[in-house]
Structure 1
Amino acid sequence: MRNLSILFVFCVQFITAQNLKTPFELGNGNQSTTYAECISFYEKLDHQFETILMQKMGLTDSGEPLHIISFSSDKNFDYNSNKAVILVNNGIHPGEPDGIDATMMFMRDLATNKIKVPKNTIVVAIPVYNIGGMLNRNSHSRANQNGPEAYGFRGNARNYDLNRDFIKSDSKNSRSFQEIFQLVNPDMFIDNHVSNGADYQYTFTCIATQHQRLGGKLGEFYKNEMHPAIMQKLKQKNIESVPYVNIHGDMPDNGFAQFMDTPRYATGYTTLFNSLGSVPETHMLKPFKDRVKVTYEYMVETINYVDQNVSKIKALKNQNLENYKAGMQYPLKWEIDSAKVSYIDFMGYKGGYKPSDVSGKQRLYYDKKQPFTKKIPFYNDYKATKEVTIPSFYVIPQSQWPVIELLKLNKIEIQPLAQDTEIEVESYKIASYETTKHPYEGHYGHYNTSVSKSTQKIKFRKGDFMVTTNQKGVKFLLETLEPEAVDSYFNWNFFDPILQQKEYFSAYVFEDLAKELLDKNPDLKTEFETKKQNDTKFSENAEAQLDWIYSHSEYYEKAHLQYPIYRVL
């Protein structure tokens, strides 16, 4: 009987193991799961293991909901406990499916104790973020990629690149992601990708979120301790790594810079809430099975490190908020600090140029028969080119409901005024800006924005909102509400109505009034005459002269170029 019992247990374990093999494992090493297979797999995990919790979350543009799959060794899924939380995102670009397949195996191996189980960490995974893109399955949209045989498409169901949508939130995907992110409040975020660009020997490259944007001791810890330690563990597994090679159409031999992940990108967004972030970028030209393997191993080592350093990471996260208090300076724009350079060992292939068989012109090629290892410059530091003083509060009129909606979604604390109130505020006028000539992710965005400032007393209405900067989301507020920030709501066209005048004048009517205005205001007349004398084009343009007088009069509408969000210093 004892032998029969042992045989029965063995058969059950064997059937379970076979039942939980992924499509990738059951295939030829060059096949990736479909969306239906992926969700079915996680449903089985959820059914069979109490340490796995599958939850249906908000909708995506495809009409399908996002899911999160959580693993907790003690079956406690309280994301606000003393445990660390790691959030893994997959399939933001479903043509880059390495993370989708790797995470399926990874979550199963946690549930079955096949790998070291974290005792102090809850692991949360989004199986597929861009569901619409994954359902748009094909074999040709990634012309530069070596497998798998079939995969999804980069654009989502509305053809948005979701890795440009984390601030503007045009997609339901982004809004549902923000709900997930605020719910699980991760200490570490991993966004799995596959690279484009140069050729080299590495299978694994990685974007460690820019440490200066992360800020303070937390950023230094990530740059100097945590990320190097994880990379060293990979090296011990014979997985060589290098920072993401941000080179397109050229050779990396002369060096390259750390990728600056502004808030439009996944880790740029998560950094705003002091989450450590990384973007594994496996190399497109390496075999799919090798790419999946290194993605898996990176997640293993990252989770091992976080699990061993929970207290330190959480303490540094909390301390980091002290760097962003009212009255302090906050960097809005950055550029590479070329004076600060480090040198890294780079394992590449000799590149060169030869005549193209197609055009006859010179084309780039890499010779895999000539590998090399040499030191190249790596620029890992940026310097701030524009800073702003952090205010105590922002005041947001209730009319700006699209902004209020996104602030609430991101758990920003806002307080409506209980009655009409006059407040002394710093007010911005949009002084200048440029607009892109070509559409980008559904927008003709602005850039090189500058503002002029004035101090005014303004009467705000009951129900308008006071938003304190003394909160966890202070960096989110600064990056979205300061017009000069790269990914501000202004630059993403949230406030374009203020750029257009709603009232104007008929010249033949305004002529007499313009003269009357100059006659009544000697200072204005002097300024007008001086401008005519010093500006030939202006002196010869009657329409421009009337417009100048109009814009310097009380008839000129106050709303034009008036930024409708105010600062309390």
Structure 2
Amino acid sequence: MRLILLFLFTSIFVDAQNNLLTPFEKGNKNQSTTYEECIEFYQELDKKYASILMIEQGLTDSGKPLHLVFYSSDNVFLNTTKKTVLLINNGIHPGEPDGIDATMMLMRDLASGKIKTPKNTLIAAIPVYNIGGMLNRNSSSRANQNGPEEYGFRGNGRNYDLNRDFIKSDTKNSRSFQKLFTELNPDIFLDNHVSNGADYQYTFTCIATQHEKLGSTLGNYFKNELYPSIVKDMNKKKIDVVPYVNVHSTTPDKGFEQFTDTPRYATGYTTLFHTLGFVPETHMLKAYKDRVHVTYEFMVSTINFADANWEKIKQMRNVAIEEFTPGKQYPLQWALDSTKVSYIDFKGYEGGYKPSDISGKNRLYYDRSKPFTKKIPFYGNYKPTQFVTIPKAYIIPQSQWQVLDILKLNGIAYTQLQKDTIIEIESYKIESYQTSKSPYEGHYGHYNTKISKSIQKVKFFKGDYVYNTNQTSVKYLVETLEPEAVDSFFNWNFFDTILQQKEGYSAYVFEDMATQILAENPTLKQEFEAKKQSDKAFAENGGDQLYWVYKHSKYFEKAFMQYPVYRVN
């Protein structure tokens, strides 16, 4: 009887354990979970373990909700200042599912006690961010990737690349993410990916966010202490870590530079909130089981560091907030600093060129029978090339509701004017810009934007919005509202209506008015004649001359090129 009971107990235990195996573990480790299997797995974890909680956090373009899964050793899931908060994002590109499968095992192993239990860290994970892309399951869209057998597609339900949508916020996915992110306020953020590009020996590469953008104190802590400690722990597990090899169509043995993550990207966005960001990038040509393994181990190493250093991480983030305050200079544009170079022992493969079987022209190839280790230069530093002074506040008219809605999603604090008020402000005019000739993620974006400035007294109305910059989200305000910033709302086409005149004139009528305007304004007349003398094309074009007078008259519309966000200095 004892043997029978023991057999039954063992069978029940084994069955229970098998039910908590992931599809990746049940197969030959070249399979990835489906969306349905993934959510069911977390539902089971939620039922079985008090330390696991799964909630819904808004909708996605697919129509399905975005889920957030928590692990807490004390079963308390509130974001308190007593713990570090680690947020893991998976499946932003569902054709790169390593993190999806690795995080399922990680959360189970944390809850079951299989791995070290973090006492000072609250872990939150988005099981699948791009649900629409994961539902678009196939075996061929990642042409150069070595497994798994099936996976999702890069574009979401509306064919947006979600890793370009963290500022423009065209998708429900992005809007749901922004709300949960700013409410959670994570200290560390991981966005799991798979690389493409060059070939080399490493299974694991990593984008450590541009440390300069974190400010001097937090940035130096990130670069000199936090990241090296995690890498050292990975090395103890016999896993090499190298910076993301941002090299395409050539070999990396002559060196490469750090990927610059502007705010359109996940870690570029999270950096705006003083969050320490990583993008693990496993190598596409390595076996899927190995890619999932190293992704899992990087998350464990990060958790262990966060748990051991939770107080200092909190302290460093608080110090960083004080570096970005009204009146201080903010770096708006960056360029690679080629004067600062480090040398890494890079493990690559000999590469070269040979005639293509397709075209007969030279094509790149790598020879895996010829591995090498050699020191190569790595450029991991950027320098600011343009600054702006952080104003005391920004004022945005209530008519700009599209921008205001996104600021609200991001938890940006504001007040509203209680009555109509005349305020002295700094005003911008858009002087020049260039526009992309091809569509990019649904936009014909602007770049090389230039502005002019003036001090004016402007009447604002009851209900207009005031955003004081003395808040933790100041970097987000500056990066989105300063039109010359790379990923500003202006450059993402939010204000394109100001770039088109709404009124004009009938030339046969305005000819006589122009004559009178010049007669009544001797200084303007002098300017006009000087321009005719210095600009031959202008002197030969009557239409341009008439328009010049119109543009310099009181009849020219004030809204043209007038940037509708104002600075209080």
The TM tier, using the shorter chain, reads over 0.9
The aligned residue for residue 367 of structure 1 is: 367
- Structure-2 separation of matches of 1:497 and 1:13: 65
Taking every aligned residue pair, what percent have the same amino acid on both sides? 66
SS in structure 2 of the partner of residue 394 of structure 1: strand
Give the superposed CA RMSD: 1.1
SS in structure 2 of the partner of residue 332 of structure 1: strand
SS in structure 1 of the partner of residue 431 of structure 2: strand
- Structure-2 separation of matches of 1:369 and 1:506: 76
The aligned residue for residue 334 of structure 2 is: 334
Could you tell me how far 1:412 is from its partner in structure 2?
0.6
Query: Does structure 1 residue 565 correspond to structure 2 residue 565?
Result: yes
The aligned residue for residue 262 of structure 1 is: 262
The aligned residue for residue 20 of structure 1 is: 20
Which residue identity lines up with residue 274 of structure 1 in the other structure?
H
For these two proteins, the number of residue pairs brought into alignment is: 569
Could you tell me how far 1:6 is from its partner in structure 2?
6.2
Which residue identity lines up with residue 559 of structure 1 in the other structure?
A
Output aligned runs, 1:57-456, within 5 Å.
Answer: 57-456=57-456
Which residue identity lines up with residue 429 of structure 1 in the other structure?
K
Could you tell me how far 1:3 is from its partner in structure 2?
7.5
- Structure-2 separation of matches of 1:2 and 1:398: 76
- Structure-2 separation of matches of 1:259 and 1:382: 10
SS in structure 2 of the partner of residue 330 of structure 1: strand
Q: Deviations over 1:390-416 (max 9, x none)?
A: 001001100011111111111111100
Change (3 A) 1:85 1:3: farther
- Structure-1 separation of matches of 2:439 and 2:8: 63
Alpha-carbon contact 1:343-1:377 (below 8 Å) kept = yes
Q: Deviations over 1:287-327 (max 9, x none)?
A: 11110000000000000000000000000001101110111
Could you tell me how far 1:16 is from its partner in structure 2?
1.8
Which residue identity lines up with residue 47 of structure 1 in the other structure?
K
Which residue identity lines up with residue 303 of structure 1 in the other structure?
I
- Structure-2 separation of matches of 1:470 and 1:414: 11
- Structure-1 separation of matches of 2:81 and 2:2: 43
SS in structure 2 of the partner of residue 455 of structure 1: strand
Alpha-carbon contact 1:80-1:184 (below 8 Å) kept = no
Q: Which moved more, 1:183-192 or 1:13-22?
A: 13-22
Alpha-carbon contact 2:413-2:467 (below 8 Å) kept = yes
- Structure-2 separation of matches of 1:496 and 1:177: 26
Alpha-carbon contact 1:87-1:123 (below 8 Å) kept = yes
The aligned residue for residue 496 of structure 1 is: 496
Alpha-carbon contact 2:183-2:411 (below 8 Å) kept = no
Gaps of 5+ in 2: none
- Structure-2 separation of matches of 1:80 and 1:397: 35
**TM-score w.r.t. structure 1 length?**
0.99
SS in structure 2 of the partner of residue 259 of structure 1: coil
- Structure-1 separation of matches of 2:14 and 2:186: 35
Query: Does structure 1 residue 49 correspond to structure 2 residue 49?
Result: yes
Q: Deviations over 1:466-510 (max 9, x none)?
A: 110011100000000000000000000000000000001121111
The aligned residue for residue 521 of structure 2 is: 521
Could you tell me how far 1:183 is from its partner in structure 2?
2.1
Which residue identity lines up with residue 60 of structure 2 in the other structure?
T
SS in structure 2 of the partner of residue 197 of structure 1: coil
- Structure-2 separation of matches of 1:4 and 1:566: 79
SS in structure 1 of the partner of residue 449 of structure 2: strand
Alpha-carbon contact 1:355-1:362 (below 8 Å) kept = yes
- Structure-2 separation of matches of 1:4 and 1:190: 48
Which residue identity lines up with residue 79 of structure 2 in the other structure?
Y
Which residue identity lines up with residue 154 of structure 1 in the other structure?
R
SS in structure 1 of the partner of residue 16 of structure 2: helix
Could you tell me how far 1:9 is from its partner in structure 2?
5.2
- Structure-2 separation of matches of 1:7 and 1:263: 57
- Structure-2 separation of matches of 1:80 and 1:115: 24
Q: Deviations over 1:342-394 (max 9, x none)?
A: 11111100110000011000000001011111111111111111110000100
Gaps of 5+ in 1: none
- Structure-1 separation of matches of 2:5 and 2:169: 56
Alpha-carbon contact 1:80-1:185 (below 8 Å) kept = no
Could you tell me how far 1:241 is from its partner in structure 2?
1.3
Which residue identity lines up with residue 299 of structure 2 in the other structure?
M
Output aligned runs, 1:482-561, within 5 Å.
Answer: 482-561=482-561
Query: Does structure 1 residue 33 correspond to structure 2 residue 27?
Result: no
Could you tell me how far 1:80 is from its partner in structure 2?
2.4
SS in structure 1 of the partner of residue 383 of structure 2: strand
Could you tell me how far 1:517 is from its partner in structure 2?
0.7
SS in structure 2 of the partner of residue 384 of structure 1: strand
